[in-house]
Amino acid sequence: MDCVKIEYDFNAYLMWGWDHPVPLSRTDDIIDSNGNQVLLFEGMDVRIYETDYDVFNRKDDLCADGIVIRNPERPADYSEFKWWFQINEFGAKHESDDPDFKLSTLSTSEKRNIIYEHMQRCMSLDKLRDTDKKGQMEFYIRALRQIDNGEL
């Protein structure tokens, strides 16, 4: 997603929940990840992120894409926030989960470990139907073959 990237504390979602907008800015502008002052507007595409690290201690930020919305009339304690962030239907993820993430910088064993980690995570999700898990496993097995063949 080609948009403004803004650092954000994802703990706000503990209070508001993933389905609800969260406070973003009290003013019409905000500082982006490059240190630039950016003017906010209704419907603006934004990626919020929080610094995080993977199991190899490499930077792998938690991120979510969505849009900027005006204050949706939240409780009085939050009325000073003019702009809020509405996450899109894809939710939060690590940047390495993004299809645009570049695997070329990783060794073969690191790539394999990431795939194994995703496989374990997928199998532990009770919400997924068995047919969905089977499809995901087939995808991961193809990815492992591509890694072994030097294609990924």
pLDDT per position as a tens digit, 95-130: 877 655 555 556 788 778 888 887 887 777 766 677
Low-confidence residues in the chain, pLDDT < 70: 1-2, 72-78, 98-106, 126-128, 131-132, 152
CB 113 within 8 A of CB 55: yes
Q: What is the pLDDT of residue 152?
A: 65
Distance CA(67)–CA(87), nearest Å, equals 7
Query: Six-digit token pair at 38?
Result: 């950016």
Q: Which two tokens stand for residue 145?
A: 């073959």
Structure tokens at 147: 């890694």
Q: What is the reported pLDDT for 119?
A: 80
